[in-house]
Amino acid sequence: MNREQLQLYFIMGSQNVEEHDPIVVLEEALRGGITLFQFREKGENALTGEDKINFAKACKALCKKYNVPFIINDDVNLAIALDADGVHVGQDDANAIAIREKIGLDKILGVSTHSLTEVTAAINAGADYVGIGPVYATTSKSDANSPAGTILIEQTAATYPSLPIVGIGGITIDNCQTVIRAGADGVSLISAIATHEEPFVATRQLLHVLQQVAKIS
């Protein structure tokens, strides 16, 4: 994958929004310039069954309109059924090697990792990128680990310089430059866009700040 696609990686499910319709939030984020989208319909109040499928189809169509890759979290069967651009899995989800076999080589595979051992295993499973987090405290994932800061991002970037890395967890406009300076190619985030009263404005501002740091390094 092109590591620039990780620059501003928005993740959302219908359970993550507050005052807006999630489809409106996604379109605002796409209009604002997100570079990748992950459909993550998970946790309390998440849609299931037909409702989940229909919502995923609507998100995929919007991503296509803006030419932004559409990744599905965990649900590999849904990803195959909708011909999504890729799948993202955590350590508690299905085995990454099995998923790579199922989706083939031309789809994006992302894996969440929390140690260098997990990063190495993800590479061996054929991951295109790794997610490292939670960098900061998050309220969007009830079973998230304790915040780990940027140390693992630094270690991973030093050990595997050609591996695309995205930081996750509690990332905002105020701390996103620190994540990039540590060695990440981009930031993935939920609430900084999904719960912002103006998702378009939040996205533009994040992108602007990320573009500044890209110039520094």
**Active-site residue set:** 40, 112, 141
Alpha helix stretches (DSSP H) within the chain: 22-32, 49-65, 76-81, 96-103, 116-124, 151-159, 176-181, 191-194, 199-216
* DSSP state, residue 66: T
- Based on the shown chain and the rule CB under 6 A, indicate whether residue 89 belongs to the binding site for ligand 3NM: no
How far is the C-alpha of 147 from the C-alpha of 150, rounded, in Å?
A: 9
Asked if residue 203 belongs to a known ligand binding site, the reply is no
Shorter beta-carbon distance to ligand 3NM: residue 107 or 196: 196
Asked if residue 65 belongs to a known ligand binding site, the reply is: no
80 is in an annotated binding site: no
Q: How far is the CB of 109 from ligand 3NM (least distance, A)?
A: 15
96-103 helix and 116-124 helix, angle to the nearest 10 degrees? 30
Measured between alpha carbons, how far is 128 from 3 in angstroms, rounded to an integer? 9
What SS3 class is residue 154? helix
The single residue listed with the structure tokens 């099995």 is 98
34 lies in the binding site for ligand 3NM (CB under 6 A): no
- Per the CB < 8 A criterion, the answer to whether 211 and 204 are in contact is no
User: Contact at 8 Å (CB) between 132 and 184?
Assistant: yes
32 near ligand 3NM (CB under 6 A): no
Q: Other CB atoms closer than 10 Å to residue 48's CB: what's the count?
A: 8
Q: Between residue 148 and residue 207, which ones bind ligand 3NM under the rule CB under 6 A?
A: 168-171, 189-192
Among 5, 7, 14, 140, binds ligand 3NM (CB under 6 A): 140
Least distance to ligand 3NM, CB of residue 147, Å = 9
| Least Cβ distance, residue 118 to ligand 3NM (angstroms) | 11
CB of 71 to ligand 3NM, least distance (A): 12
Footprint of ligand 3NM on this chain (CB under 6 A)? 11, 112, 131, 133-134, 138, 140-141, 144, 168-171, 189-192
- Which residues are known binding-site members? 38-42, 73-74, 93, 112, 138-141, 170, 190-191
